[in-house]
Amino acid sequence: MRAGSMNGFSWPVRVYYEDTDAGGVVYHACYLKYLERARTEWLRSLGFEQDRLAREQRVLFAVRRVTIDYLKPAVFNELLTVNAKIAEVRKASLLFEQSITNQQKVVLCRAEIRIACLDSDTLKPVSIPESILLELDHAN
């Protein structure tokens, strides 16, 4: 596992039987779950738990837009690496560039995911908390 926000973050994922279709190939929606796990673990590695952010700083992070290219299939029992790096920081959003690779370092999918920062009460966009922005700057 490698952490480092702007420099990138990697998270291992094993393909379980439940992630596959009848042919043993990973179902397309599962890739989104894998990408989400890496972003969540990246935030956790920086010291931010999403439930605490909602409770204490009154912010949530929500997917605003996803662009994904499926390049090669992943299969049952494969060990994958989900990579994430921040490509852009805006006042109320982050743009992630993500990829999933297999053990042979073959890229199976690529995605750009825009994450919006929302007020946990109103669900309207708000500025990303300074504490998170500072951690991003520190990790870069």
Report, as residue numbers or ranges, the catalytic residues. 21
Residue in 4, 5, 10, 2 with CA at minimum distance from that of residue 86: 5
- DSSP lists the bridge partners of residue 115 as 63, 94
List, as one string, the DSSP characters of 72-129.
S--BTT-EEEEEEEEEEE-SSEEEEEEEEE-TT--EEEEEEEEEEEEETTT--B-PPP
